[in-house]
Amino acid sequence: MEEEMENKTNSKTENEKHLPKEEGDVKYYSCEEVQAHNTSKDAWLIIHDKVYDITTFLEEHPGGEEVLLEQAGSDATESFEDVGHSTDARQMLQQYYIGELHECERKKEAKKEVYITTSKESSSWSTWLIPAIAVAVVGFMYRYYMLEHKSS
């Protein structure tokens, strides 16, 4: 009987061992902790500052386990996004969630530069002058061409 109880306790998956005790609790990991989990028997990933234990998924991954093992123990956000995973894949990822990266270790997202024209010069002379010159040149060429051929 004791042996059965021990087997039930040991049968918990790795994910269950790492999950917070209560749903509202979030377990935080350092990059160093995640880096220690980079083998086929114990593989963790960071994706968008969330930590996932993907050990049990390695053999099921459609792209092969090698792809995941290359990223194991590190931040795989860029690789994950570059592949363009489906909505189903993103939902499936949630079952491997074990916690989040410590706030102090999160990468600051690079601000994308956005160029906004606030100048009122859009109604300036350059927006109408170039087309006006083009029309004048085309008109002049048309008249010249037509007059040359009529007099011949």
Q: Where are the alpha helices (DSSP H) in the chain?
A: 2-10, 14-18, 31-35, 65-71, 77-83, 87-93, 125-151
pLDDT along the chain (152 residues), means of 10: 43 49 74 92 93 93 90 90 87 93 73 48 67 87 78 60
Q: Are 56 and 44 in contact (CB under 8 A)?
A: no
**Which pLDDT score, from 0 to 100, does residue 1 have?**
44
**The pLDDT value given to residue 8:** 41
pLDDT at residue 18, rounded to an integer: 57
